[in-house]
Amino acid sequence: MEMLTRTAAVLDLERVRADFPALAQEVNGRPLAYLDSAATAQRPRAVLDAVTQFSIQDNANVHRGLHELSRRATERYEAARARVARFLGAADPAEVVFVRGTTEAVNLVAWSWGGAALREGDEVVLTVAEHHSNIVPWQMLAQRTGVRLRYLDVDDEGRLRLDELDAALAGGRVKLVSLAHVSNVLGTIHPVREVCERAHRAGARVFVDGAQGAAHLSVDVSALGCDFYAFSGHKLGGPMGIGALWARRELLEAMPPWQGGGEMIDEVLPERSTYAAVPHRFEAGTPNVAGAVGLAAALDYLESLGRDMVEAHEAALVRHGLERLAAVPGLKLYGPPGPEGRIAVFTFTLDGIHPHDLATILDAEGIAIRAGHHCAQLLMRRLGVGSTARASCFVYTAPEELDRLVVGLETARRIFSA
């Protein structure tokens, strides 16, 4: 709270909140406190308008019509690709493949790159903190090819064990390290740059799951040094069903297509076909053009707020949340206990009250949180819990909403001690 008022450049939170129509509603008779942004973020009016305007004026299929609407749709689709490239710090828009989301990007890379580049006995290194979407596609690859999976542990504060990475790389069989930029449960920012340096020295590639990272951090793929980076539009205020995979051009060029269909071909003959150049080779079928337009609008919106102010706001939320939650009796927080190296995602348990019960009691107060395993069952096992509660923030989150969370937790304690 204090930091918010002392910081020189302060986000005008009231104005930001007014940009998100979904926030201005009551739930169960209380103003909505939406603390589930790590699952999906609410969308600013600029995104809703961009999608609507595209649908009203420019809707047509891309790359095939010779008429005006198709020209416009194609232009907007490719402009969105260039916008994503700029957001990621990538020089070449052809290195950006539109996908449904991060999950599809992992599947694409596992099928296409993994299928072509990996052999039985090769190793893929993951972490125990990965989202299921960065585990299951690699397990499917392992079952097809005999590739071995290894998991890096996190320490008791939720930080990645780099010593285990070194041990894995020393074996000489690791061809890929695939990890989240930011853990969706612990909120930990993983040292991706360090991981890339070590992996590259050992001849391994690095895939970064940016589902949470892209929504909270400035991303620069060349500074990170990774080989693949993927994120989802809906985690940062864009529509659902659109996301992007960035990969180094030489990797994309060498990867076989993974889905066949229209849009991705050069010439189709009875027995075989030749394929379009990258990135279109990986975009079979009619793409989600309106989604891409909405995603570009979301990136524009975030940029318009000013990255520094967004980051200062996030840092203030981290400090405020940690301070308030630490004062709740019986609350155990998972992930880094201090404000460094983490984002404003707070995962916790409360003594004697199951997370589902917390979620129901908070819902009655208009407070939306997530309860369960957060698609990270390996991490839950590592933490020794079946399920946890998670409150997660985005650019529109107010510190007062975290205060309401704490009051709601006190209500839950009262109900369960009755």
Partner 1 sequence: MTDPSPPADRAGNEPGASSPAMPSLSSLYQQLILEHYRNPRNRGELPEADADVRMNNPSCGDAVRLQLRFEGDRIVATRFSGEGCSISQASTSMMTQVVQGKSVAEVQQLIERVKAMMRGDEAAARDRALGDLRALAGVHRFPVRVRCALLGWNALEEALRQARG
Binding site for partner 1 (CB under 8 A): 27-30, 352-357, 360-361, 363-365, 371-373, 377, 380, 386-387, 411, 414-416, 418
CB closer to partner 1, 53 vs 411:
411
CB closer to partner 1, 36 vs 365:
365
Can you name the residues that pair with 245 across neighbouring β-strands? 97, 230
CB closer to partner 1, 222 vs 360:
360
CB closer to partner 1, 78 vs 403:
403
Locus of tokens 């997370």: 355
In whole angstroms, the minimum distance from the beta carbon of 25 to partner 1 comes to 11
Please say if 375 is a catalytic residue.
yes
In whole angstroms, the minimum distance from the beta carbon of 353 to partner 1 comes to 8
Can you name the residues that pair with 34 across neighbouring β-strands? 368
CB closer to partner 1, 29 vs 270:
29
In whole angstroms, the minimum distance from the beta carbon of 372 to partner 1 comes to 4
Task: Give the tokens for residue 8.
Answer: 């020189």
In whole angstroms, the minimum distance from the beta carbon of 377 to partner 1 comes to 7
CB closer to partner 1, 327 vs 418:
418
Sequence-distant (6+) residues with CB within 8 A of 45 are: 19, 20, 21
Nearest C-alpha neighbor of 337 from the set 322, 316, 351, 321 = 322
What is the SS3 string spanning the chain? Answer: CHHHHHCCCCCCHHHHHHCCHHHCCEECCEECEECECCCCCCCCHHHHHHHHHHHHHHCCCCCCCCCHHHHHHHHHHHHHHHHHHHHHCCCCHHHEEEECCHHHHHHHHHHHHHHHHCCCCCEEEEECCCCHHHCHHHHHHHHHHCCEEEEECECCCCCECHHHHHHHHHCCCEEEEEEECECCCCCEECCHHHHHHHHHHCCCEEEEECCCHHHHCCCCHHHHCCCEEEEEHHHHCCCCCCEEEEECHHHHHHCCCCCCCCCCEEEECCCCEEECCCCHHHCCCCCCHHHHHHHHHHHHHHHHHCHHHHHHHHHHHHHHHHHHHHCCCCEEEECCCCCCCECCEEEEEECCECHHHHHHHHHCCCEECEEECCCCHHHHHHHCCCCEEEEECCCCCCHHHHHHHHHHHHHHHHHHHC
- Indicate which residue of 196, 226, 375, 393 is catalytic: 375
Task: Give the tokens for residue 139.
Answer: 């397990």
In whole angstroms, the minimum distance from the beta carbon of 415 to partner 1 comes to 5
In whole angstroms, the minimum distance from the beta carbon of 42 to partner 1 comes to 19
CB closer to partner 1, 265 vs 364:
364
In whole angstroms, the minimum distance from the beta carbon of 132 to partner 1 comes to 10
In whole angstroms, the minimum distance from the beta carbon of 18 to partner 1 comes to 24
Answer whether 291's CB lies under 8 Å from 100's CB. Answer: no
CB closer to partner 1, 204 vs 405:
405
Which residues are catalytic, by number? 375
